[in-house]
Chains A and B, each alone.
Chain A
């Protein structure tokens, strides 16, 4: 299991365990983490699973793909550390990952 911590705009911290091979979005939905909508169900087609990657983790998580960048155009309150959580695969290397959810998704 890979520990992923979601922090919302209010500062509420929600640590949950993700399965290797699933995505950060799926992990949030499975554990009922609020603030992630994932309207399109993980197809990289809507930008409503937008998260901010903690600075300490940005390099490990890596940049968005061109397709994801296209979708990020539509995200609310974009920042340089913005990613779509459906496009981040859970790996052993991400154990301890911290992401923040935005004020709103759309």
Chain B
């Protein structure tokens, strides 16, 4: 097994609050690694509503959600955060005094003195399509993500959906699969026009099948899919023989593995914390942003920023138990300005 990555702090979730936590930790000389299940930073802001406006960030009368994420990324650059994207943290284990092991679903391991859970509404996970009886086939012959293209070589593959994921995998798997069918409920696609054109070209060359309709039932045995029954938009019903199905119905937020980390959750979904440092019942593990709960909690980005600042003050004592923390302002502290890589202000 590979040696774990050793760091001061592991931040679970790279949404706006996880990103800003890097800043507050960085000012106090703590290095952070960020893990996020999405393939990009920004959390809900980037995944759900990148172009939507935000009006309640103090001092910024208006920004877009993606604009805020981009600005935060810029702001934390001096602290060189390490991103681990497309990975979900599965376990957080206390292995000693102020020492935690954090393990991802990709087998990556971290060893850190502090863990910060900034997981928002939980992890984004693929939506299960509305096909009755799909569960027994999941991860055996029905897959919501493609990890290894080669696994589909020569197979009869049915891809369902009309977005970028469905179209991208149609284009990528067409040369690999023995036979490929793309099934979508209507003739318009939300995927990028370029992908749609390439897909239509494959269809016109007879390299893939294209069906407009919805899968209504599945048949197979022992987890191995054999066929899907499809009802087309004009009402006809027929079967598509297949060895694998890849449904792409977007993402939904689920609490995910956080539920199994031993916290007494509030309303089964929120991690209770104290309001002095936003620390959980396990000392050294903090929860900030939408995922935490305390009396008076507001699910606002600005609340999460405040929580990140207080968290960092307490985390410092776990990372540097022998040091005394001197409170400083970025406006006047030359040492903080040095960390930020900005020249100290010239005083006339």
A and B associate in one complex: yes
* Chain A positions near chain B (C-beta within 8 angstroms): 39-41, 43, 45-48, 66, 69-70, 73-74, 76-78, 106
Given contacts A69-B188, A106-B128, 5 further A-B contacts (CB under 8 A): A39-B48, A43-B52, A48-B252, A76-B127, A78-B130
Residues of B within 8 A of A77 (CB): 130
Cα A41 to Cα B52 in complex, Å, equals: 11
B130 touches A76 (CB 8 A): yes
Q: 1/0 per position for B124-155, CB-CB distance to A under 8 A?
A: 00011110000000000000000000000000
* Interface of chain A, main secondary structure: loop
Cα A46 to Cα B48 in complex, Å, equals: 7
A39 touches B121 (CB 8 A): yes
Number of interface residues of B (CB under 8 A): 22
B162 touches A40 (CB 8 A): no
Given contacts A43-B48, A45-B49, A45-B52, contact A70 B252 (CB under 8 A): no
Q: Does B181 sit within 8 A of A, measured CB to CB? A: no
Cα A12 to Cα B143 in complex, Å, equals: 36
A43 touches B49 (CB 8 A): yes
Q: Does B292 sit within 8 A of A, measured CB to CB? A: no
Q: Does B161 sit within 8 A of A, measured CB to CB? A: yes
B161's nearest neighbour on chain A, judged by CB, is A73
- Between A and B, how many residue pairs show CB distances below 8 Å? 48
Q: Which 3 A-B pairs have the closest CB atoms?
A: A74-B250, A70-B190, A106-B252
Q: For chain B residues 17-60, which have a beta carbon within 8 Å of chain A? A: 44, 48-49, 52
Residue contacts A-B, CB under 8 angstroms, 18 given:
A39-B48, A40-B44, A40-B49, A43-B49, A45-B49, A46-B48, A46-B252, A48-B252, A66-B188, A69-B188, A70-B188, A73-B161, A73-B163, A73-B185, A76-B127, A76-B130, A78-B214, A106-B127
B48 touches A74 (CB 8 A): no
* Chain B positions near chain A (C-beta within 8 angstroms): 44, 48-49, 52, 121, 127-130, 161-163, 184-186, 188, 190, 214, 249-250, 252-253
Cα A46 to Cα B188 in complex, Å, equals: 18
Cα A34 to Cα B33 in complex, Å, equals: 38
Cα A75 to Cα B214 in complex, Å, equals: 12
Cα A106 to Cα B253 in complex, Å, equals: 9
Residues of B within 8 A of A76 (CB): 127, 129-130
Residues of B within 8 A of A73 (CB): 161-163, 184-186, 190, 249-250
Cα A45 to Cα B48 in complex, Å, equals: 5
Residues of A within 8 A of B163 (CB): 70, 73-74
A105's nearest neighbour on chain B, judged by CB, is B252
Residues of A within 8 A of B250 (CB): 46-47, 73-74
Cα A47 to Cα B161 in complex, Å, equals: 15
Residue among B129, B214, B252 having the largest count of chain A Cβ atoms under 10 Å = B252
Residues of A within 8 A of B162 (CB): 73
Residues of B within 8 A of A47 (CB): 250
Given contacts A69-B186, A69-B188, A106-B127, contact A74 B249 (CB under 8 A): yes
Cα A78 to Cα B44 in complex, Å, equals: 24
Residues of B within 8 A of A41 (CB): 49
A39's nearest neighbour on chain B, judged by CB, is B253
A88 to chain B, nearest CB (A): 18
A50 to chain B, nearest CB (A): 11
B160's nearest neighbour on chain A, judged by CB, is A73
A40 touches B185 (CB 8 A): no
Residues of A within 8 A of B161 (CB): 73
Cα A77 to Cα B216 in complex, Å, equals: 10
A93 to chain B, nearest CB (A): 28
A13 to chain B, nearest CB (A): 24
